[in-house]
Structure 1
Amino acid sequence: MVPMSVAEVAQAVGGRLIGGDGLGKPATSALSDSRQVCEGSVFVAIKGERVDGHDFVAGLADRGAVAAIVDHEVPDAGLPQVVVENTVAALGQLAKHNIARRRAMDGDFDIIGLTGSVGKTTTKDLLAALLGTLGSTVAPVGSFNNEIGLPLTALKVNEATRFFVAEMGANHLGEIAGLTRIAPPDTAVVLKVGVAHLGEFGSRERIAQAKSEIVTGLVPTGTAVLNADDEHIVPMAALAPADVLWFGLEGTSETGEQAANANKVYADHIDADSADHARFTLHTPDGAAVPVHLGIPGRHNTMNALAAATVAWHYGMKTEAIAAGLSAQRTISPHRMAISTVERDSACFTLIDDSFNANPDSMKAGLDGLKAWRPADNGTPWRIAVLGGMLELGGDESELHRQVGAYAASLDLDAIIAVGSAADQHLDELAQALAEGAEGTGGSERTAGSGTQGSGSCDTLVSWVHGTDQADALVTRLAKEHGDCVVLLKGSHASGLSALAQCWTTKN
């Protein structure tokens, strides 16, 4: 955060300052987690579903806090309070002021906004690593991409920041537009228009409309970086206020004649190694062609890497350096195609943890990664897909789950485990639909409670279980029975699979 007085903080958020005159220590950070308060912090008290930040205001002065932003005065707080009507809105206003302060200072400063139905966080991680070699870069931790997460990250921008990578998500129309008013992008990246949050938007066209808000939110001289292979993204070029750069795969462009121009970063000669790390030749508009071997797994991450490469090239990074950076980056945010070895109860298996969240597009990409996985000896592993429900897909959610189940079965995996919940009927029904889709292609093995009944004639075992404890037991049993197992975890956060991954890797 650019240092400012408490009085300036109050003015920026339109609040009423009480308990201090603003002439004390400067504010140097702002946060909403009282556990992170340190010297110079402004604490923003947010009332959540389970916790009210106002309950933690008293005593923060002893830990160095210089002020608290509140929606009502907290008695005996012991520090200046800025009283506002809505603390979440005030958080956004303070972040907007902080960005304006940085723009008014000497030195180059650019905001890169990115959005898409899938790939935002992975692309953000790759982009932060690449731009970090060019200058001090601020990027969110995990998926801080909403009306709270983005402002909190924007408030980490200070006088030394060169780049701010702003991930922007949306659950409804107008949300991304609001985020761009806080942090107007100099460069806007649109990755993909899929069916995530289809239940909220109603159609893919309305999802595209929401994603396009990042382009219309560009500064007047801003550059749009668009996926040339997505028919819903290509028309967004007409909304760009200035230059447009494209990224995509050679020969699959939806841009027609535009694909042949000098503004496209693309990949060809694409394959993957035995651990599903993509390999390809990276082409940039200056004519360079350099081989890349991605350090992170997932052949589908080729497109995410191309998006990051396009932005890095736009800001002057040489193609050879981009290729080296993409190869060197081996860690990304948790629960995204993270590879580890799990040992428990005399069982041992390789885990592909892609459990952060899920929608039909990312589910299929994860399944493709499982299918492509090969052990170091290049043998054939026993593949298990552990799949949870996908939320916010609207009225077609059951059919979309059946389609994903059928897709999983079409890959000739050895086992498909659909994980529901004994305590949540909706999640259990979604898991049932996954299993039904898989059974339409292969055989079936139904698991109820802790028991297993029957099996089909096909080699693929299809199981519907009613909680992560049952999934844990079944995977452990199968790993004991079959050597060299590889297990994919993929599902929406509510499915509990990320907690299962945490359990496996923590005990490992």
Structure 2
Amino acid sequence: MMPMTLADITRAVSGRLLQAGPDPVEPDEARGLCTVSDSRQVGAGSVFVAIPGQRVDGHDFVPGMGAKGAVAAIVDHPVDGADLPQILVDDTIRALGDLARYNVELRRAQDSPFTVIGVTGSVGKTTTKDLLILLLSRLGAVAAPVGSFNNEIGLPLTALKVNGDTRFLVAEMGANHMGEIAGLTRIVPPDLAVVLKVGVAHLGEFGSIERTAQAKSEIVRGLVPGGVSVLNADDDRVEAMAALAPGRVIRFGLGARGADGLPVDVRATDVTLDDDDRPRFNLCCGQEDPVPVRLAISGGHNVMNALAASAVARHLGLESRDIADVLGEARRISPHRMDVRRVDLPDASFTLIDDSFNANPDSTRAGLKALAAWKGPQEGRAPHRIAVLGAMLELGPQTLELHAQVGATCCLEGVDLLVAVGSRTDGEIERMAEALAQGARDQDAGEGRIKVILAHDVDQARSLVEGEACSHPGSVVLLKGSHASGLGGLADAWLGSAHE
């Protein structure tokens, strides 16, 4: 965080400063910020923001914060027993955003270069963000979220990591409803806006894919004057956002020209997958000579995420060969995203493709393609492919239909076993799993191409998969589902026995 006095903070959040005792005290400058979720990191110079939640109210933690070194607390009501100054505001979440905006403004006011990169899209945001961190770190210090902190709380917390040494801020900008990305860009207007894909994630919130595209376009509208738009030329709805761009448009994709006929600036040619489903391709940046890339992370769909990150890095000055080097070393990204490792258990061994962080129909189909492309170590023998799929949430009235379509995709992609994971306690999640299973059965039409099992909880799924892997040495297992499905916990259990 940029250094600020309490007076600076109070003005930035339109608050009122309440002193803890009878004698007004102006402490040293604030140098950091924390909330309940990271309250153990309170230290000298911290500002504590009391955010009320469904389970925990941050105001309950205000007393005693002064003893831990915090210099002030931002609250929406005075807290009795507080041992530090309180800054009273109407809404602490809005105040968090106001303070983040002020922090970025202070950094922009310095003479040294500073660039904000905003990333949005229905799939691929966090992977692209992770690749950008690695690439841009070659050019300067990067502030970025851990995981997918991309909402009205997560984005400000990331922006408040910015200090005088920060060269780049990489900000994920997610949306569950119209206007949400616009609100995030008002807090942190990007210099570069990356739009990856318009898909059916959150279809239940937006109502249609056209409305989803409109929501994602808010990041382009929210650019600083003359800001740069980095757009997926292979997605017609993303390509159309070029008409909204206030400045230069950089296109990335697999084809030589986009949907509007204009040249693609950063593209991949000669894409292939190795036996571990890791892509190889030639990176072509403008008129430069192609540079070979061996992507360290698995999944053919990650070529587009790598191109998006490469387009940003090349625009900001990183040479193509340096980009290729970083992409070839980027094995570790955020947890539960296309993490490929071997699991060795007492009675079974298998390859795990852990992509269990979250799921929607587009990302699940991408995961299934990765599973289908997996060749395995045994020459001339296809691996036994197992898809363990959980519920996909926020899809609206088409929820069951979309789950059935994904089930059908399992059959079409050559999956040997689908384990659809439901819930013994949540009827909605159980119905989604049933739709997955039925979609696969309907597509198979009794031909026996795919085995389908409905598991009623994660423990049952675990037992089924371990038994199947025991019977089929060389199996490969894909885990994919929304957070509520609990598959992340299953991945953690298996990864305790995993190897590179």
* Normalised TM-score (structure 1): 0.94
Cα distance 1:457–1:206, how it changes in 2: closer, same or farther (>3 A)?
A: closer
For 1:245 and 1:465, the matched residues in 2 are separated by 46
SS class of match (2:217): helix
Q: Which amino acid aligns with 1:31?
A: C
Contact 2:234 2:255 in 1 (8 A): no
The residue that corresponds to 2:72 in the other structure is: 67
1:462 maps onto 2:463 in alignment:
no
Q: How many angstroms apart in 2 are the aligned matches of 1:350 and 1:72?
A: 53
Given residue 477 of structure 2, which amino acid in structure 1 is its aligned partner? V
Aligned match for 1:417, one of 419, 443, 459: 419
1:490 to 468, 476, 480: 480
For residues 113 and 244 of structure 2, what CA distance do their matches in structure 1 show? 25
Q: 1:482 to 1:376 in 2, by over 3 A?
A: closer
2:9 corresponds to: 9
Find the counterpart in structure 2 of residue 472 from structure 1. Answer: 462
Assess if the C-alpha contact under 8 Å between 1:4 and 1:28 holds in 2.
yes
Alpha-carbon deviation of 1:76? Answer: 1.3
Q: Does 1:24 align with 2:27?
A: yes
Deviations 1:62-85 (A, max 9, x none): 222111111111111211111111
Determine if contact 1:288/1:319 at 8 Å carries over to the other structure.
Answer: no
Aligned residue for 1:429? 431
CA distance in 2 between counterparts of 1:151 and 1:180 reads 11
Shift of 1:345: 4.7
In the TM superposition, what are the counterparts of 1:372-387 in structure 2 within 5 Å?
372-378=373-379, 379-387=381-389
Contact 2:49 2:96 in 1 (8 A): yes
Q: Would the aligned equivalents of 1:7 and 1:22 in 2 still touch at CA under 8 Å?
A: no
**Which deviates further from its counterpart, 178-187 or 1-10?**
1-10
RMSD value over aligned CA atoms?
A: 1.4
Following the alignment from structure 1 to structure 2, what is the Cα–Cα distance between the partners of residues 324 and 255?
Answer: 32
Counterpart for residue 335 of structure 2: 334
Q: What amino acid is aligned across from residue 30 of structure 1 in structure 2?
A: L
Using the TM superposition, name which of 263-272 and 197-206 deviates more. 263-272
**Residue 430 to residue 309, structure 1, CA distance change in 2 (3 Å):** same
How much does 1:286 deviate?
Answer: 3.6
3-state SS of paired residue (1:475): helix
Taking the aligned partners of 1:470 and 1:314, their CA distance within structure 2 comes to 49
Displaced runs of 4 or more, over 3 A: 376-379
The code of the aligned residue for 2:96 comes to L
Letter of the 1:406 partner, please give it.
Answer: A
1:2 maps to amino acid: M
Tell me by how many angstroms 1:253 deviates: 3.0
Distance (Å, rounded) in 2 between the aligned partners of 1:41 and 1:348: 48
Residue 342 of structure 1, CA deviation: 2.2
**SS class of match (1:62):** coil
Report the Cα distance in structure 2 between the residues aligned to 1:55 and 1:359, rounded to whole angstroms. Answer: 37
DSSP 3-state at the match of 2:443:
coil
Check the 8 A contact 2:252/2:266 in 1, yes or no: yes
Counterpart for residue 201 of structure 1: 206
Give SS of 2:87's match: strand
1:92 paired with 2:82, answer: no
Shift of 1:411: 1.6
Cα shift readout 1:397-426 (whole Å, capped 9, x = no counterpart): 111111100011112221100001010000
Deviations 1:339-393 (A, max 9, x none): 1222335222211110011111100000111111133444422111000111111
What letter is aligned with 1:310?
A: A
Contact 1:345 1:476 in 2 (8 A): no
What do residues 87-128 of structure 1 show as CA deviations (whole Å, max 9, x unaligned)?
100000000000000000120001001100000000000011
- The CA deviation at 1:459 is 4.5
Count of residue correspondences = 492
Query: What secondary structure does 2:194 align onto?
Result: strand
**More displaced 10-residue stretch of structure 1: 333-342 or 370-379:** 370-379
Fraction of identical pairs, as percent? 57
Cα distance, 1:499 vs structure 2 = 1.4
Kept after mapping to 2: 8 A contact 1:229/1:255? no
The residue type paired with residue 156 of structure 1 is K
Structure 1: distance between partners of 2:359 and 2:257: 25
Amino acid at match of 2:312: V
Distance 1:459 1:396 in 2: 26
CA distance in 1, matches of 2:198, 2:447: 39
Letter in 1 for 2:460: Q
